[in-house]
Amino acid sequence: MTTVSLTINGDRRQVDVEDRTLLVDLLRETLGMTGTHVGCDTTQCGACTVILDGKAVKSCTILAVMAEGAELRTIEGLADGDTLHPMQQAFCDNHALQCGFCTPGMIMAAVNIIERHGTDIDESLVRRELEGNLCRCTGYHNIVKAVLDVAGKLPRASE
């Protein structure tokens, strides 16, 4: 066993893991933080997306020990009590989820798009940046709308 020290959603944590433990399994199995999902377990679907040191990554393809010293953010860290994060609210407002399985990964990827690009984004950038997140329900249109909504780039009905 190896002790990994990292910050998760602002809390400093020390966790004992086997070296072969995946980061997503540290979250889900060791810490019981099941908001981060495992869809494909093959680096394709993006359901396991978390933000590691400011970058969206797929936590099914990173060893927990590789996150030593890192700052990690997950879906559980977004809302402030009962108040949803603006991206979560935008997903609700724009009907950007149906079954919801891909949603935690979508939202973490989407939050990271705004963090890295600011609000100067357009539809083609959002679609390109979401290539690593698969959704089998929505057809993506409303997900893209939700991200543009947060950036203030959505035409309003009144306009």
Partner 1 sequence: MMYAFSYHAPISLSEARKRFEESEDAAYISGGHTLLPTMKNRLAAPSDLVSLGQIEELQGIAVAEGCLTIGAAETHASVAASDAVTGRIPALAGLAGSIGDVQVRHRGTIGGSVANNDPAADYPSAVLALDARLHTSERVIEASDFFQGVYTTALEPGEILTKVGFRIPDTAGYAKMRNPASRYALAAAFVARFGDSVRVAITGASEDGVFRWTEAEERLSKDFSAGALAGLTLNEADMNEDIHASRGYRAHLAALCTRKAVELQGRLTLL
Least separation in angstroms between residue 111's CB and partner 1 is 13
Task: Pick the binder of partner 1 from 13, 41, 70, 84 (CB under 8 A).
Answer: 41
Cα dist from 72 to 64, 96, 126, 141, whole Å: 11, 25, 23, 29
Q: Which amino acid is at 53?
A: D
Least separation in angstroms between residue 58's CB and partner 1 is 5
Q: Is residue 58 a contact point for partner 1 (CB under 8 A)? A: yes
Q: How many residues does the chain have?
A: 159
What letter would DSSP give residue 80? B
- Provide the β-strand partners of residue 5: 14
The distance from CA 6 to its chain's CA centroid, rounded to whole angstroms, is: 18
Least separation in angstroms between residue 108's CB and partner 1 is 10
Q: Is residue 115 a contact point for partner 1 (CB under 8 A)? A: no
State the residues that interact with partner 1 by CB under 8 A.
2, 18-20, 22, 41-44, 46, 49, 52, 55-58, 61-63, 65-66, 68, 109, 129, 131-133
